[in-house]
Amino acid sequence: MLAKLTSLLLLSTSVHALPPSLDIRQASSTAKAGLAWPNGPYNDIDQYRSTGKVQWYYTWSPSPVPTDLEFVPMLWGARQVAEWSRTISDTIRRNHVTHALGFNEPQQAGQSDLSPEDGASIWKAQIEPLKAQGILLGSPAPSSAPSGKTWLLDWMKACGGWDGSKGGCTVDFVALHWYDVNSTAFIRYLEDFHDTFQKPIWVTEWACQNFNHADQQCSQQDIVDFMNTTQSFMDNTDWVERYSWFGAMRNLSGVNQWNALMTNDGHLTTLGKQYIGAVTPNISSDPKPGVVHGGKGDTSGPIIESAALKSTANTVAIIAAASAINTLNDLFTIGLM
């Protein structure tokens, strides 16, 4: 089973007012939106395709699911190297892969938990060779702790730079995660990463979630406003290439359940319909694009346990159980049990 995802939130951030044009803008339809998908084939991923806004997905792994959405494989960390090296060539060929993602929160214990030097070594052996096939490569995706940016800078040094033609680690775009309750801080965080690394940005996990003060969570209305503001910004910012909200799953495993794009019976929530552009966001008459009503914007706090791979682990257990049941049924059918 996959390990639980942990995230350490950004410890300090300045708060500024957003330009008025971003305060209430409805998210436009673009090809940027994707899905962080831990559900295997056991939930309907194609319901997210109905508007054409969602165009791609990833699974925290090199394993796709049956869908016509573009698949972006990920090498989660060292524990996936054997699976990656065994399957990636066939996955690229069968799924017409054009992009690949690096490690999941490599600076954190409980996640891929790699030193920059080990990360550089694995990258050069497993991911860098994909460049020769024309695959665009996304950096390891750190959590929004200050240590995440530091790790990427140290990894760049360990690689010998981000130019593969000169022996470094090719990075075509920078992936990152972000959890908090402040849409202004989210935008400033993306701007800082873009200014620092001068690469296009992919936000492969983000949500309106307060991991530092459990009693100061975003309300349902806060999340509607937060998604509208942040998604609008990314849809209208050319250097943000792609993004995927957390979470497209039934159980968010510790993340505020109002962030769910899917109901308990596997259908789109109203927020899910907002995410794919199927409904007009029911935003507040006086949206506050900085600190939402459910939080004070205080992002200092301890290491927390978050959700993606905890949910994925639950899904892996479900898939294993379902596979066992199918096997038993097959044995009964052919008379072996």
**CATH code for the domain in which residue 277 is found:** 3.20.20
Q: What is the pLDDT of residues 15-53, one digit of tens each?
A: 333 333 333 334 444 589 999 999 999 999 999 999 999
In a domain, 84, yes or no: yes
In a domain, 273, yes or no: yes
Q: CA 43 to CA 37: how far, in whole Å? A: 10
Domain that holds residue 226: 26-333
Q: CA 225 to CA 228: how far, in whole Å? A: 5
Asked whether the beta carbons of 297 and 24 are under 8 A apart, the reply is no
In a domain, 21, yes or no: no
In a domain, 247, yes or no: yes
In a domain, 177, yes or no: yes
In a domain, 300, yes or no: yes
* Identity of the residue numbered 145: A
**Which residue numbers in the chain have pLDDT < 70?**
1-30, 288-337
pLDDT of 169 reads: 97
Asked whether the beta carbons of 66 and 41 are under 8 A apart, the reply is yes
In a domain, 293, yes or no: yes
Say how many domains are in the chain: 1
**Residue with token string 């690394």:** 197
In a domain, 12, yes or no: no
Residues facing residue 178 across a β-bridge: 206
As given in the structure block, the two tokens for residue 7 are: 């995230």
pLDDT of 52 reads: 96
pTM (predicted TM-score): 0.81
